[in-house]
Chains A and B, each alone.
Chain A
Amino acid sequence: MWVLVMIEGLTFAAYFVVYTYFYRQSPDLFLASQAHLDLTLGVVNTIILLTSSWSIARCVERSRAGDYKAALRNVLLTMAGGFLFAGIKLYEWSVEIGRGFTFTTNTFFSFYYFLTGIHLLHIIVGSIALFVVIHQLSSPARRAQEIIETGATYWHMVDFLWVIIFALLYVMR
Chain B
Amino acid sequence: MTAALARPVAAAAPATSRLGRIAWNWRHNPKLELWLAWYTILVFYNIFGIVFFVMTRSQPPPKAWWSLPRMVQWFADNEWGLLVGFGIIFAMGAFATASTALITYSIRRMSVSPAFAYTYLILYSLAAVPGMLLTCIALVVGAMRLDRDPALMGSLYDMGFIAFSGTMGIFLVGSVIWAVAILLDTNRIFPRWFGYFNICNALTEVVVATCVIEKSGPFAWDGIISFYVNMVVFGIYTGVFITLLRKMIEREDFTAGSPLSQHRRPHAI
Contact = CB atoms under 8 A, between A and B. Distances in A.
Given A114-B219, A118-B206, A1 B229 contact: no
30 contacts: A2-B193, A3-B193, A3-B197, A4-B197, A4-B199, A7-B197, A7-B200, A7-B233, A8-B200, A11-B200, A11-B204, A11-B229, A14-B229, A14-B232, A15-B229, A18-B218, A18-B224, A22-B217, A22-B218, A104-B213, A107-B218, A110-B214, A110-B217, A111-B218, A114-B210, A114-B225, A118-B203, A118-B207, A121-B206, A125-B199
Given A7-B200, A7-B233, A111-B218, 14 more contacts: A1-B196, A3-B194, A3-B197, A4-B197, A7-B197, A11-B233, A107-B218, A110-B218, A114-B207, A114-B219, A118-B203, A118-B207, A121-B203, A125-B199
A110 B197 CA distance: 27
Contact of B203 (A14, A18, A122): A122
A3 B200 CA distance: 9
B179 to A, nearest CB: 10
Interface of B: 193-194, 196-197, 199-200, 203-204, 206-207, 210, 213-214, 217-219, 224-225, 229, 232-233
A40 to B, nearest CB: 28
B206 to A, nearest CB: 6
B210 to A, nearest CB: 7
State the 3 A-B residue pairs at the shortest beta-carbon distance, nearest first. Answer: A4-B196, A3-B193, A7-B200
Interface string A35-64: 000000000000000000000000000000
A18 B199 CA distance: 23
B238 to A, nearest CB: 14
B223 to A, nearest CB: 9
A154 B246 CA distance: 30
A18 B229 contact: yes
Contacts, number: 58
Contacts of A18: 218, 224-225, 229
Contacts of A7: 197, 200, 233
Contacts of B214: 103-104, 110
A18 B227 CA distance: 13
Given A103-B213, A104-B213, A118-B207, A110 B219 contact: yes
Nearest to B216: A107
A59 to B, nearest CB: 20
A8 B203 contact: yes
A3 B229 CA distance: 17
Nearest to B197: A3
Contacts of B204: 11
A25 to B, nearest CB: 10
A74 to B, nearest CB: 23
Q: Which of B194, B200, B213 has the most CB of A within 10 A?
A: B200
A118 B204 CA distance: 9
A3 B219 CA distance: 26
Nearest to B176: A125
